[in-house]
Structure 1
Amino acid sequence: MGPLPEKAADTSAERPWPVRVLSLKISDYVDRMSQLWVEGQVVQFSARGAAAFLTLRDPDVDMSLSVSVPMNAVNAMPTPLTQGARVVLQAKPTFWTKRGTLQLEARQIRPVGIGDLLARIEILKRTLAAEGLFDADRKRPIPFLPRTVGLVTGRSSAAEKDVVENARRRWPAVRFEIREVAVQGTSAVSEVVAAIRELDADRAVDVIVVARGGGALEELLPFSNEAMIRAVAAAVTPVISAIGHDVDQPLLDLVADWRASTPTDAGRRVVPDAAEEGRLVATACERGRRALLRRIEAERRGLRTLRSRPVLADPVAQVTLRRTELADLRRRASTSIEARLHRAADQVEHLRRQVIALSPQSTLERGYAVVQHRDGRVVMDRDDVVADELLRVRVARGDFGVRPVTSGSATT
């Protein structure tokens, strides 16, 4: 088959690396890495002779590595190493070729102090605030009466009892969708985040309450975790933070849409008080009844005032008055029209007489005659007359024909 490829980029389906070669290549690459400092949370811890073995987990994501530590380094710690502790350690990465696993060989291990944790939380707080995750204008209003309340709390915890009992004491018909998760320890962040996302995806859930009954600073660290803060900020459903504490303020309080001082306070805030709302409804009904009675009485007074007016005391009076005015107007209109007709008749008669006086017939009756040629032209000049031409003479009582003896001035 020939020599194996030296580089991963030179491999192909025809010239692959065997698994042992790949493991050796990875081991060689990891061996060339320098020592480094890494931080994490102790998930599992066991001591075997001169060495201690633990699982170091990233607090923000579900990712872990196996670590071996000399027992003398563990014993040199100021406080005993326990599960859930936050530590930093100096280690050299190694790759176990037989199992194909990566692990760390630690030289030193140190606990992360409270001061360091608070400083990191403060840095994260400023970073998230600069991104606007804590701005008031992005906070959503809490519904007045949610259909279903999502509750994320510890398993069989007093916080769950406080929220549920106080809410049902105020509104007995309230419905809960409860997710019991770890609220401290190595899996708290992942479980709380998963529960928030699950409830946020449920369209029947109108508000989500994240409740825990307080605790020491170390126990409240999951509620200042960046992954949890971003999950709450990305939720569509309004979120109430109900972490009972006196001094320390987890970042969850800042990103939540409303902060309750305790789980009991959250139970009182998440639903209205049925008795109080009943009193408000009764008060509103009474106020409405009184307002309606006052309105009815005011309308009655208005009707009485209207009925006392003369126009309503004798409704026919206005009709009679208008009827008289209408009859008078009709008489005046009739007289005016008759006068106009008489004047128009006189004018017509006058014009008729003028037409008669100026008509050709009147002229003929006074003894005049009209002489016309055969084609109807009127004879205007005797020089137009031709001898023996047949002319038509029209008089007042008919017409007749004549023939001139001669033409011109010698006409007979």
Structure 2
Amino acid sequence: MTAKTTPEQPLPIRSVLQMVAQWIGRLGVVWAEGQITDLSSRGGTVYLTLRDPVANVSARVTCPRNVYEATVPRPVDGARVVVLVKPDFWVNRGSFAFTALEIRPVGVGELLARLERLRQIIVAEGLANADRKRRLPFLPHVVGLICGRDSAAERDVLENARRRWPAVRFTVEQVAVQGQYAVGEVTEALRKLDADREIDVIIIARGGGSLEDLLPFSDESLVRAVSACLTPVVSAIGHEQDNPLIDLVADLRASTPTDAAKKVVPDVGEQLALIRQLRDRGRRVVVGWLDRELSWVSAVKSRPALADPVREIERRAEQVDGLRERSRRCLTSSLDRAEDSLGHLRARLVALSPAATLKRGYAIVQRPDGEVIRLAADVTEGDDLSVRFSDTRIAVTVSEPQ
């Protein structure tokens, strides 16, 4: 392949093909996985096409009959197999093909093991975390639907959704939902609907089927496409017991396409009933509150202070009059007692007063300086004295002491 050629010195085509065959022959053998299609046999050779289950890629494989018949169970069209192949280039025809050296069927157990490994990877990356799930809109205006062509899943979703809310609109993308083209078509439809800003939610729906039929919905590329969507995605694949991997990353899992319609689109009858219940409940709350407030106002109005405010004033006036009368009586009584006490004191003073004594016929003899003479021996002849009676005073001179 590294031979230098020129327009003047070209290589014969046989030499070129031989060089290609030598280069391909050095590639060795490799295990390849795919799905068998176009199975046929002629003579001692079995011819088949090994198709990639995801991409639109296939390759021709020739298999010696003894290798084919040694495989248990014997492969048929549509079977998933792992083949040990050796690349061969046929120089005479200038064609390329693989030669099968060994064929091993891919059993359900191996498929489940692969799905479990992929499930663990998805969970480890956090693509299935609950905090990544987005809430569906309460009332979507436009719903994107990805389903099979003229499928029962499409009819179930459309009929149930429109029965629940007739005004809802759908944008339907009909794609292959099983086989070699399913992953690519579903992924492309998903990206198309996700790019449409009018679409509020996307439903991926398919009816039930075998594990192999539902394998496209566990493909890693489709799972990652669903997790990358900006629009909420509802997975409605198969029946309740079916669990493809897109159920893990979808924002909501529905057990069936009918269940998806019920979860995405609200029932107009149920919502009207709910509105009536809420309205009645609100009315009862308001009426109850008004009744309580009116009862409180009535109770306040029935209190004496508000029912007859003048009566309260009169009662207070009566209390004032009573207190005033009581004060008057107390003051009068105090004055009377004080007057009586004063009278007694006056009587005592009068009884003890010298003037009262003088009125009884006594007199007081005093010197001019006011000294009271108590004994006759205290005076001498010629002393000037003053004699005080009860009504007057006279001056005397002692003539001869007795």
Q: Could you say which TM-score interval applies, normalised by the shorter chain? A: 0.5 to 0.7
The 5 A counterparts of 1:373-412 are none
Aligned to 2:340: none
CA distance in 1, matches of 2:8, 2:132: 58
Contact 2:87–2:99 (CA under 8 A) maintained in structure 1: yes
Q: Corresponding residue for 1:142?
A: 136
What is aligned with 2:271?
Answer: 277
Q: Give the distance between the partners of 2:167 and 2:9, measured in 1 at CA.
A: 70
The 1-side partners of 2:250 and 2:277 are apart by: 34
Change (3 A) 1:275 1:184: same
| Unaligned stretches of 5+ residues in structure 2 | 311-402
**Equivalent position to 1:162, from 149, 156, 161:** 156
Give the number of aligned pairs.
Answer: 305
The aligned counterpart of 2:316 is none
Q: 2:371 aligns to what?
A: none
1:126 offset after TM fit, Å? 0.9
| Corresponding residue number in structure 2 for 1:404 | none
CA–CA distance in 2 between the matches of 1:142 and 1:211?
17
**Post-superposition CA distance 1:174-201 (Å, at most 9, x none):** 2111122222222222222122112111
Of 27, 30, 34, the residue aligned with 1:40 is: 34
Specify the alignment match of 1:88 in structure 2.
82
- 8 Å Cα contact 1:151-1:176 kept in structure 2: yes
Distance 1:133 1:11 in 2: 55
Instruction: Say which is worse superposed, 15-24 or 98-107, in terms of deviation.
Output: 15-24
Matched, 1:71 2:88: no
Aligned partners of 2:2 and 2:280: how far apart in 1? 88
Compute the displacement of 1:299 (Å).
7.4
Deviations 1:112-131 (A, max 9, x none): 11111111111111112111
Deviation at 1:94, TM superposition (A): 2.5
**Is 2:54–2:181's contact at 8 Å kept on the other side of the alignment?**
no
**Consecutive unaligned residues in structure 1, runs of 5 or more:** 1-5, 315-412
Name whichever of 24-33 and 237-246 sits farther off: 24-33
Aligned equivalent of 1:151, options 145, 148, 168: 145
- Aligned residue type for 1:165: E
**Alpha-carbon RMSD:** 3.5
* Residues in 1 aligned to 2:240 and 2:19: alpha-carbon distance in whole angstroms: 55
SS in 2 for 1:88: strand
How far does the alpha carbon of each residue in 1:191-237 deviate from its partner, in whole angstroms, 9 at most, with x for none?
22122112111212111111122112222211111111111111111
Asked if the contact 1:60/1:226 (under 8 Å) is kept, the reply is no
Deviation at residue 290 of structure 1 after TM alignment: 4.6
Q: Deviations over 1:324-346 (max 9, x none)?
A: xxxxxxxxxxxxxxxxxxxxxxx
**1:357-368 correspondence runs (5 A):** none
Distance in 2 of aligned mates of 1:52 and 1:268: 51
Indicate if the aligned counterparts of 2:53 and 2:179 stay in contact, CA closer than 8 A: no
Q: How far apart, in 1, do the equivalents of 2:239 and 2:294 lie?
A: 63
Deviation track 1:273-295 (CA, whole Å, cap 9, x = no partner) reads 10011112223333444555566
Structure 1 stretch 223-232 or stretch 153-162: which is displaced more?
Answer: 153-162
**Any idea what the Cα deviations from partners look like across 1:131-173, whole Å, max 9, x if unmatched?**
1111111111111111111111122222222222221221112
Which of 251, 261, 286 lines up with 2:245 in the alignment?
251
Closer, same or farther: CA 139–44 of 1 in aligned 2, 3 Å: farther
Which amino acid counterpart does residue 76 of structure 1 have in structure 2? Answer: A
**TM-score calculated relative to the size of structure 2:** 0.66
In structure 1, the residue matched to 2:233 is: 239
* Cα 1:276–1:98 shift into 2, 3 Å: farther
- The amino acid across from 1:194 in the alignment is E
* Partner SS, residue 151 of structure 1: strand
Residues 54-88 of structure 1: per-residue CA shift (max 9 Å, x gap): 22222343332222222333333323433332111
Q: Is the partner of 2:166 in helix, strand or coil?
A: coil
Assess, with a 3 A threshold, how the Cα gap between structure 1 residues 122 and 147 changes in structure 2: closer, same or farther.
same
Q: Distance in 1 between matches of 2:228 and 2:76?
A: 34
How far apart are the structure 1 equivalents of 2:184 and 2:74?
Answer: 26
1:172 and 1:255 map into 2 onto residues whose CA distance is 30
Which runs of structure 2 are paired with 1:242-321 in the superposition (5 Å)? 242-292=236-286
| Residues 230 and 101 of structure 1: CA distance in aligned 2, closer, same or farther (over 3 Å) | farther
Tell me the secondary structure at the aligned position of residue 217 of structure 1.
Answer: coil
Question: Paired residue for 1:210, among 204, 213, 218?
Answer: 204
Q: 2:172 aligns with which of 173, 178, 201?
A: 178
- In the alignment, is the contact (CA less than 8 A) between 1:84 and 1:186 conserved in 2? no
Q: Deviations over 1:303-332 (max 9, x none)?
A: 9979x998xx99xxxxxxxxxxxxxxxxxx
Q: Tell me the secondary structure at the aligned position of residue 218 of structure 1.
A: coil
- Where does residue 116 of structure 1 map in the other structure? 110
Q: 1:153·1:180 contact (CA, 8 Å) conserved in 2?
A: yes
Structure 1 residues 94-105: aligned runs within 5 Å = 94-95=88-89, 102-105=96-99
1:186 and 1:141 map into 2 onto residues whose CA distance is 33
Counterpart CA distance in 2 for 1:206 and 1:45 is 45
CA distance in structure 1 between the partners assigned to 2:211 and 2:176 by the alignment: 16
Q: Distance in 1 between matches of 2:230 and 2:8?
A: 52
CA gap 1:153/1:19 in 2 versus in 1, 3 angstroms: farther
Measured against aligned partners, the alpha-carbon deviations of 1:328-379 in whole angstroms (never above 9, x if no partner) come to: xxxxxxxxxxxxxxxxxxxxxxxxxxxxxxxxxxxxxxxxxxxxxxxxxxxx
Pairing of 1:5-16 with structure 2 (within 5 A): 7=2
Mapped partners of 1:24, 1:226: distance in 2 = 40
Matching residue's letter, 1:214: G
CA contact (8 A) 1:31 1:94 kept: yes
- Normalised to the residue count of structure 1, the TM-score between the two structures is 0.65
